[in-house]
Structure 1
Amino acid sequence: MSKKSIALVLIFVIIIAGVSGVFIFYIFFNPTSTEPSPSYVRVYVNSSIYSEIKPEIDQYEEDIKDQGYNVDVIKWTETNVAELRNNLTYYYNNYENASMRLFGAVLIGDMPYAIARDTSMMYSDYPIDLYLMDLDGIWNDENGNNVFDYGSEPFGNNLTEIFIGRINPNPLNNINNLTAFQNYFQRNHAYRNGTLTRPHSALLYIDDSWSSYTSAWNNTFTAYTDVTVISTNSLTNRTDYLNRYTQIYEWVHLFAHSDYTTHYFNWPSGIMEYVYNTDVLNNDTKALFYNLYCCYACNYIQPNNLGTQYLFSNNTLALVGSARSGGVDLYETFYDALKEGKVLGNAFKLWFHNPEIDTISGKRRDISGTTILGDPLLTII
């Protein structure tokens, strides 16, 4: 063999060895190769309504599978929320491989919920879905009254291992609940198959109390580049909001003082104006998703609460908000995740792990009542 041939062989061997080394390093040392993302989802349906909405549940199950998830649908009868948490915890901790670790859950119909009280302030009790998402926390009921004393220690790390979303029209007395279920899952399927669409645009609507933070809120609203921002104090009012939320947007992010059934506009700088849950019901809202930074609006156990009214009115697919004071704050991590194509529930879970939250005293308590109403497995892209 000539020297030239020998040289070519040596070069070939070196190249093959180098490529093989890179391949071996990638397989054995790349952290993402040995820890695939969880893909297991559990859908819990209240057994009393299962037969009535079985066609919708069957289609929803197929839609989730089409996303690439492994899914089980469970007819649930137990009313004790601790039993539901134990069930979630079992499937989070016991799995054949990492891809089958529990990713998240969907709760359909009347499902158990935990109640908490913020021991640091005189707030009213509120439902706390963090109890079902924080699967390794220590939860204290100091008085034995079935109310968790949020703020007492220890409380685990207060972070989410999974996400959940609730789909339940039953708190509303102004619609037919069976029809509401059917219509919701019909539009959910339509969105998933591309027949329900919106331009990739958003409305950022900021009432007076937060208008001075408009620039910061807008800069961290990273999931959208086409954003209509309304924050001038003289403009944010009942009439303007009702007009704008019936326009074509994919996402609406609202900052407004609220209670369970009412948004308050112009507080504190002008004459108070109100938007009621019945306004949401009776106006043709067009948005598919909402982020309600509106105290108590997503307290889903209250009759005719705003969050549930938004979810089962017109076109809505999902929303995030709070069952107590506060909401999804410091939200750049949340919107970054949505921009990257992550599902709503995973974006919520990642936001909950945002270390910036821990830099502000009391912020963990403030966000403890945040929840997802609607399908947490949807994306905006």
Structure 2
Amino acid sequence: MKNLVEKLEKLKNLIKEKEKLIISFSGGVDSSLVAKLAFDMLGGNSLAVTIDSPVFPRRELENAKKIAEEIGIRHKIIKESSLGKKFLLNPKNRCYYCKKEEAEILLSLARELGYKYVADGVNISDFSDYRPGIAAVNEANFFHPLVEANISRKEVRLLAKKLGLSNYDMPSTTCLASRIPYDEKITYNKLTMIERAEDFLFSLSFKQVRVRYNNKNAIIEVYPEEINKIFVNRDEIVRVLKRIGFSKFILLNFPVTGVILNSQVERVSIDGGAITSNLANRVMVLVDKSVYEGIKNELDRFSTDLSKEGWICEIYPKKIGCPGWDDPEDVKKFIVSHSSDLAGCILVGNIPMPEYRVEKGYMNQPETFPCDFYYMDLDGKWEVYDKGGNSFGYYYTVFCNHTNGNGSKAPEIWVGRISPSSWIGDNVSLLKEYFKRNHAYRTGSLCRASRALLYIDDDWAKYGSEYKRYLENIYKSSLITVINDPEKTREKNYLNNIKKEKYEWICLHAHSSQLQHNFYYSDHTKWDSLTSWELRKNYKSAFFYDLHCCEALDYFQEECIGNLYLFGNTSGLTVIGSSKVGGMIDNGKTFYEKLKSAACIGDAFGEWYSLKGVKYPSYCYGMMVLGDPTLKPKKDEKPPSVEITFPKKGYLYIFGREICPLSTGKTILIGSCILVVEADDINDIGRVDFYVNEELRFTLKSKPYQLDLKNYSTGWYDIRVVASDKFGNSNNDHIRLLLINF
């Protein structure tokens, strides 16, 4: 808080130095803070100016008037009814052309009224985003007081609250043009349709709403907790949107995290009054009651986490031994009876295991194996081959001859099983730990670098390049490690790779059984065996495992190696693989292609089954998911950390030696010194750019990140450093200093 107070004082001094100031004023919290301090420091020598253009909603214009009146500052509104031709073409840098025109208007007004400076509300957080409009105002030499005071978006809100601004917690707003996809021409009619639709929805008391225009479809974005308002008012919404000119609307969670999930989409057609809805965002969690009481708190938190992401989570604790719950057929009837809008089902604890029999399986011999695909297909026909039970309370049902029945063989939902093995540890404790790390992953406190390991033993080694291309659907090529040298793929080499906290995703191709992996020598005369017991001793760090390993997910076996990846370490979240000899018939090609755009692993897995798995029962019907299918590797959108650690801002230095802080808040260097920058990122820093007076001087791609000032002449310098990671995320720090060199 002390640092924030110092920044506020610096901000006041920066504004006071300008003597007369025009503020580009939208009524948002950033420009409101600048306007408030300008009025406090300069009084009548401050002027807030709002450009009233077709992309500026009327409701925001009224808000700007209200906030200006609240501050007490003089407020001028300039009507601009036309938009430039380049802007209307809607290129990716459209904001540049818009801001350029606005800057010219404001500079012309400043010259007319005798003002030297025009300020705006750009803050340091804006530089971590794609903001082409900033280039336009920089060309116009706008004054960025929040940047010069090193104030972030979060700090803006804290200061606005401290100064009593009523809009301190106002949601961020963007212009109406941002609702139209790049390269689709902007028209005045489209802007009017968007504004009318948003005004109507705001009249229904939504906290935040955006309507995006896409081929006459209205894509409505609202916060997850307000989705029910859409359903309550759906008929009226359909009627009004149709009257405005839209053909249908698509409902999405407001992308608070920047991620929009396909499974959160409702499509409602507006066609002659007929409404069709296809919302599949319900998740059913079936819990063995023998573990339910012990993990109830974790399940409640899991349900809350899912709801924040737009899922509707329903938990059903059931006691094994109760009628209608021991037999897979009855479990499936229960799922079918609750299948309206169902996206998937998660089985927690000892939920009955369906089995499937093929007469010509491995080596053309009959095979019987666990088959959770039975629960995924809700309308196909499955013949019962055998069923029974014993005195120990174990009931089994074996199915065969899967056909379309009255529906199809394709799955309607996905299924994931979270069922620990007692040989690893106490079931309740293992489940508590699993849901604890699931929560940590969703909330960001458990994270890894976005790296993948593709480990391929001898028989598939020649396909390394092809398999890597599959993984490139979700990981950058440079972040995928491929190990497929037949002379290296051994037990110890694999262990050495997975023991390190290095990978988020591991894809393994190796001969296996329920209890071990077998790594062949290049001459195929012998192999190294890695047993589940040996694997248990070694720390495994990945979150996600794709095991192209026969029988690895046969969870009926107490020492199932797939379950070990899920529960035998501190990171496992989801494991994909087969309970039988076989696997993904296309070695994951379709799955990874679908995962690129799917909402979650479950959706991609279900699509793979529909397109590939159902065609090859004897090879693919053992494929299943252990763990949580609602997850998916997160796209790295977190900017790196970057800080100019030397010199300190607001201090006096003589030949690199710190003398004292300066009451003026200025940074003064007498004699040369080396400017030092610290930058870090979970996925490593890709580059650090050094800008001196907004001119890129040089780029460093490795530590140390330093700028030697010995060859710079005496004068004032604005130095900005921009750190970027390998995903294009960037962050920056800035210092303005006076250098007196000899």
Q: TM-score, normalised by structure 2?
A: 0.45
SS across alignment from 1:141: strand
Match of 2:508 in 1: 254
Offset from partner CA, 1:145-190 (integer Å, 9 cap, x none): 7654545656664321101111111x34142322211111111111
Match of 1:176 in 2: 426
Map 1:215-294 to 2 at 5 A. 215-221=465-471, 222-225=473-476, 226-247=479-500, 248-266=502-520, 269-294=524-549
Offset from partner CA, 1:79-106 (integer Å, 9 cap, x none): 11111111111222xx4xxxxx011011
Among 351, 363, 377, the alignment partner of 1:134 is 377
Aligned partner of 1:376: which letter? P
In the TM superposition, residue 304 of structure 1 has moved relative to its aligned partner by 0.8
In the TM superposition, residue 203 of structure 1 has moved relative to its aligned partner by 0.4
Task: Sort the Cα spacing of 1:48 and 1:22 in 2 relative to 1 into closer, same or farther, 3 A.
Answer: closer
SS across alignment from 2:453: strand
SS across alignment from 1:372: strand
Aligned partner of 1:72: which letter? E
Q: For the Cα contact (< 8 Å) 2:403–2:409, is it kept in 1?
A: no
Match of 1:42 in 2: 284
Residues 1:371 and 2:614 are matched in the alignment? no
Task: Sort the Cα spacing of 1:49 and 1:237 in 2 relative to 1 into closer, same or farther, 3 A.
Answer: same
Q: Distance in 1 between matches of 2:408 and 2:567?
A: 34
Q: Distance in 2 between matches of 1:168 and 1:195?
A: 24
Residues 1:88 and 2:299 are matched in the alignment? no
Aligned partner of 1:133: which letter? M
Match of 2:573 in 1: 317
Aligned partner of 1:259: which letter? S
Match of 2:304 in 1: 62
Give the alignment's Cα RMSD to 1 decimal.
2.6
In the TM superposition, residue 37 of structure 1 has moved relative to its aligned partner by 4.0
> Bigger shift: 189-198 or 151-160?
151-160
Among 367, 379, 385, the alignment partner of 1:124 is 367
Match of 1:3 in 2: none
Q: Distance in 1 between matches of 2:632 and 2:442?
A: 9
Q: TM-score, normalised by structure 1?
A: 0.86
Structure 1 unaligned runs (5+)? 1-13, 96-100
Q: Distance in 1 between matches of 2:312 and 2:304?
A: 10
Map 1:324-335 to 2 at 5 A. 324-330=580-586, 331-335=588-592
Residues 1:108 and 2:348 are matched in the alignment? yes
Match of 2:669 in 1: none
Q: For the Cα contact (< 8 Å) 1:203–1:229, is it kept in 2?
A: yes
SS across alignment from 1:340: coil
Residues 1:53 and 2:53 are matched in the alignment? no
Greater share of residues in strand = 2
Q: For the Cα contact (< 8 Å) 1:163–1:346, is it kept in 2?
A: yes
Match of 1:6 in 2: none
In the TM superposition, residue 298 of structure 1 has moved relative to its aligned partner by 0.1
Match of 2:599 in 1: 342
Task: Sort the Cα spacing of 1:192 and 1:29 in 2 relative to 1 into closer, same or farther, 3 A.
Answer: closer
> Bigger shift: 118-127 or 231-240?
118-127
Task: Sort the Cα spacing of 1:143 and 1:188 in 2 relative to 1 into closer, same or farther, 3 A.
Answer: closer
Aligned partner of 1:207: which letter? D
Offset from partner CA, 1:305-350 (integer Å, 9 cap, x none): 0011111022101110001111234223322333335211111111
Aligned partner of 1:125: which letter? T
Map 1:175-194 to 2 at 5 A. 175-194=425-444
Q: Distance in 2 between matches of 1:89 and 1:160?
A: 12
Q: For the Cα contact (< 8 Å) 1:137–1:158, is it kept in 2?
A: yes
Aligned partner of 1:347: which letter? A
In the TM superposition, residue 297 of structure 1 has moved relative to its aligned partner by 0.6
Q: Distance in 1 between matches of 2:470 and 2:596?
A: 12
Q: For the Cα contact (< 8 Å) 2:382–2:401, is it kept in 1?
A: no
SS across alignment from 2:367: coil
Q: Distance in 2 between matches of 1:115 and 1:56?
A: 30
Offset from partner CA, 1:169-222 (integer Å, 9 cap, x none): 1x3414232221111111111101101001111000111111122222122222
Q: Distance in 1 between matches of 2:617 and 2:609?
A: 9
Task: Sort the Cα spacing of 1:179 and 1:264 in 2 relative to 1 into closer, same or farther, 3 A.
Answer: same
Q: Distance in 2 between matches of 1:81 and 1:152?
A: 15
Task: Sort the Cα spacing of 1:209 and 1:16 in 2 relative to 1 into closer, same or farther, 3 A.
Answer: closer
Residues 1:79 and 2:332 are matched in the alignment? no
Match of 1:305 in 2: 560
Q: Distance in 2 between matches of 1:372 and 1:140?
A: 23
Q: Distance in 1 between matches of 2:300 and 2:630?
A: 16
SS across alignment from 1:53: helix
Aligned partner of 1:325: which letter? V
Q: Distance in 1 between matches of 2:385 and 2:567?
A: 37
Q: Distance in 1 between matches of 2:366 and 2:603?
A: 29
In the TM superposition, residue 144 of structure 1 has moved relative to its aligned partner by 6.3
Q: Distance in 1 between matches of 2:556 and 2:518?
A: 21
SS across alignment from 1:233: coil
Residues 1:200 and 2:450 are matched in the alignment? yes
Q: Distance in 2 between matches of 1:273 and 1:354?
A: 35
**Equivalences, count:** 356
Task: Sort the Cα spacing of 1:153 and 1:174 in 2 relative to 1 into closer, same or farther, 3 A.
Answer: closer
Q: For the Cα contact (< 8 Å) 1:120–1:151, is it kept in 2?
A: no
Q: For the Cα contact (< 8 Å) 1:291–1:328, is it kept in 2?
A: no
Match of 2:149 in 1: none
Q: Distance in 2 between matches of 1:298 and 1:328?
A: 13
Q: Distance in 2 between matches of 1:143 and 1:80?
A: 12
Structure 2 unaligned runs (5+)? 1-186, 194-214, 218-241, 251-265, 270-276, 320-324, 389-395, 635-742
Which structure has more relative contact order (CA 8 Å, sep 6+)? It is 1
Map 1:10-49 to 2 at 5 A. 16=189, 22=216, 24=242, 26-28=246-248, 32-34=267-269, 35-49=277-291
Q: Distance in 2 between matches of 1:380 and 1:237?
A: 27
Identity of matched residues, %: 30
Task: Sort the Cα spacing of 1:142 and 1:172 in 2 relative to 1 into closer, same or farther, 3 A.
Answer: closer
In the TM superposition, residue 143 of structure 1 has moved relative to its aligned partner by 5.6
Residues 1:351 and 2:351 are matched in the alignment? no
Q: Distance in 2 between matches of 1:320 and 1:369?
A: 11
Q: For the Cα contact (< 8 Å) 1:204–1:227, is it kept in 2?
A: yes
